[in-house]
Structure 1
Amino acid sequence: MKRKKKKLFKFRTVFLLIITIYLLSLCFKKYILIYDLKNQIAEEEEKIDAVTNDIEDLKGKIEKGNSLEFVESIARDELKMVKPGEYIYIEEKKKDKKDEE
């Protein structure tokens, strides 16, 4: 009778130990999964912030591009346009002494 109780006690102990180890391994795997997912969420939130900042910058550029002052500065500087009655003076480059000889 004592042998049966000892065997039963050993069996229960081993069984509970195996179950405990299995459950702890499941918890550890879930913890690792949760940790990885939190890191991914943080990375995606950083990307969202960067895109949001880009959108705000582009909105500012659009508003600036719609202003008459900006359009006029582009027309004058890049396209060399002038207002009626204005003249553009272009200086001639001086020739080097080597070119004259």
Structure 2
Amino acid sequence: MAKKNKRRKGSFLKRNRISIAFIVMLIVYLSVTMVNQEMKLRDLEKEENQLQQRAATLKKELSDMEKKIEESESLEFIEKVAREKLKMVKPNEIIYIIQD
């Protein structure tokens, strides 16, 4: 009887070699695919974090620019620019230039 059990085991492996090889290849393929997808997922999460940081930076820049626009519309700012950059003066105002 011991010989019959060995034959059955051996014959089972021989009969199902193709099936076993297919199952092993399928497991390997699924494992490789899962690892690749996990790596892509990590890369995408990293990129998402970078984009969120960039968006926050751009929102801050936008609010700063809007603040500058509001300030540039004030009369004090316009007068300051006219005096400093355009060298304009008020009527009856005397400018003294000190040279070293």
2:38 to 12, 31, 34: 31
Structure 2: gaps spanning 5 or more residues: 1-6
* Range moving further from structure 2, 44-53 or 27-36: 44-53
The yes-or-no answer on 1:47 pairing with 2:54 is yes
The yes-or-no answer on 1:8 pairing with 2:8 is no
Task: State the percentage of identical aligned residues.
Answer: 29
The yes-or-no answer on 1:77 pairing with 2:77 is no
Cα distance in structure 2, aligned partners of 1:89 and 1:11: 101
> 1:32 is matched by which residue type in structure 2?
M
Name the TM-score, length of structure 1 as normaliser. Answer: 0.76
> 1:49 is matched by which residue type in structure 2?
A
SS at 1:24's partner residue? helix
Determine the structure 2 residue equivalent to 1:61: 68
CA displacement at 1:44 relative to structure 2: 1.6
2:28 to 21, 25, 28: 21
CA displacement at 1:32 relative to structure 2: 0.9
Name the TM-score, length of structure 2 as normaliser. Answer: 0.76
CA displacement at 1:41 relative to structure 2: 1.4
Cα distance in structure 2, aligned partners of 1:77 and 1:53: 28
Give the CA RMSD over aligned residues. Answer: 2.1
Structure 1: gaps spanning 5 or more residues: 95-101
CA displacement at 1:16 relative to structure 2: 2.3
CA displacement at 1:9 relative to structure 2: 5.1
Determine the structure 2 residue equivalent to 1:99: none
- The number of residue pairs the alignment matches comes to 93
